Amino acid sequence: MICLKDMKRIVVKVGTSTLTYENGKTNIKRMRELVRTICDFSNFGLEVALVTSGAIGIGVGKLGLCERPKDTPSRQAAACVGQCELMFMYDKFFQEYGNTVGQLLITKSDIEDKERGANLINAFEKIFLYGAIPIINENDSVAVEEIVYGDNDNLSAHVARLIAADLLIILTDTDGLFDKNPHTEEDAVLIPVVNEIDGSVFEIAEGKGSSRGTGGMFTKIQAAKLAGENGIPTIIMNGENPEDMYRLMEGRQVGTLFTV
Ligand code: GLU
């Protein structure tokens, strides 16, 4: 059983489809709820790292583009614009609830290079020591195709590993992992616990995510697998009402838990 009260450090990952409307504009209510919940967890004594997507999606909305660009320079440009807006909003909301945030824009090579990885860990530890909340995204404005994770699900698992988190929470637009695609199959049933991530789990998770984000369930399962290999359980749950994370404070079941 997972209970946040017994934990010290967690990673929360939130995706573009949770943070924005279809038109790419920020879902302010949801973002505020997410921030308020994280601030409350932080006041309780939990160290929380927030891995957030949304830079490209919000940039697309702000630049008035009709869809998420397919070519790298356009995506980089959208990310430049959107990341500013994203952090402006986070900074404002976290400040309202009395918390300070720090931005970490990471590329794959920062994590894979031993020395840079170690530097990153030092930075994280200092941010936590100072009582601030690290907000992480992939550095999409400089990362090009060959060297990107491309999805923040895998990035969030790497962050969880780097900071030795006790739990990874992935917020998404479904209630968790279903035995079939819940967007298309009415009789899809939620799987509450997965004890082993094998080929069959990946099979039911196949498919793309929303048109505004990347990923989908497949990359979330990859993330859960990577986290699990590092002794970190993962919960995939709906981000529609971020306050549902409070249920984890009381050890109640929510979403799909991937045990270790
Ligand atoms: N890093 C991308 C962004 O901020 C999103 C990647 C993803 O959707 O997982 O837009």
pLDDT, tens digit (0-9, with 9 covering 90-100), for 167-219: 999 999 899 999 888 878 889 899 999 999 999 999 888 754 554 545 579 99
Which ligand 1 atom minimizes the distance to the CA of 213? 8
Nearest CA to ligand 1 atom 6: 151
Distances (CA, A) of 193 to 184, 209, 229, 234: 22, 22, 17, 10
Q: How far is the CA of 204 from the centre of ligand 1 (A)?
A: 23
Q: What is the pLDDT of residue 215?
A: 52
Which ligand 1 atom minimizes the distance to the CA of 59? 10
For residue 247, give every residue at least 6 positions away whose Cβ sits within 8 Å of its Cβ, in sequence order, or none: 253, 254
- Identify which of 20, 110, 145, 152 to mutate to test ligand 1's pocket (most ligand atoms within 8 A of the CB): 152
Q: How far is the CA of 222 from the centre of ligand 1 (A)?
A: 16
Nearest to 143 by CA among 132, 151, 134: 151
Ligand 1 neighbours (beta carbon < 6 A)? 15-16, 53-57, 137-138, 140, 151-152, 213-215
Nearest to 142 by CA among 177, 169, 112, 106: 106
Confidence of residue 134 (pLDDT cuts 50, 70, 90): very high
Q: What is the pLDDT of residue 211?
A: 47
Lowest model confidence (mean pLDDT) among 78-82, 106-110, 131-135, 202-206: 202-206
Which two tokens mark 40? 């409350």
Find the CATH number of the domain harbouring 156.
3.40.1160.10
| Domains contained in the chain, number | 1
Give the range of the structural domain holding residue 248, as residue numbers without chain letter.
4-258
Which ligand 1 atom minimizes the distance to the CA of 153? 9
Buried b (16+ CB within 10 A) or exposed e, 30-49: bbbbbbbbbbbbbeeebbbb
pTM value > 0.85: yes
Which two tokens mark 242? 């971020």
Nearest CA to ligand 1 atom 2: 53
Q: How far is the CA of 151 from the centre of ligand 1 (A)?
A: 6
Pairing of strands 256-258, 234-238: antiparallel
Distances (CA, A) of 17 to 5, 20, 141, 182: 28, 6, 20, 16
In the chain, beta strands by DSSP E: 9-14, 47-52, 101-106, 133-138, 167-172, 193-194, 234-238, 256-258
Distance from the Cα of residue 2 to its chain's centroid: 19
Q: Distance between CA 88 and CA 33 in Å, rounded?
A: 16
- Identify which of 140, 153, 154, 212 to mutate to test ligand 1's pocket (most ligand atoms within 8 A of the CB): 140
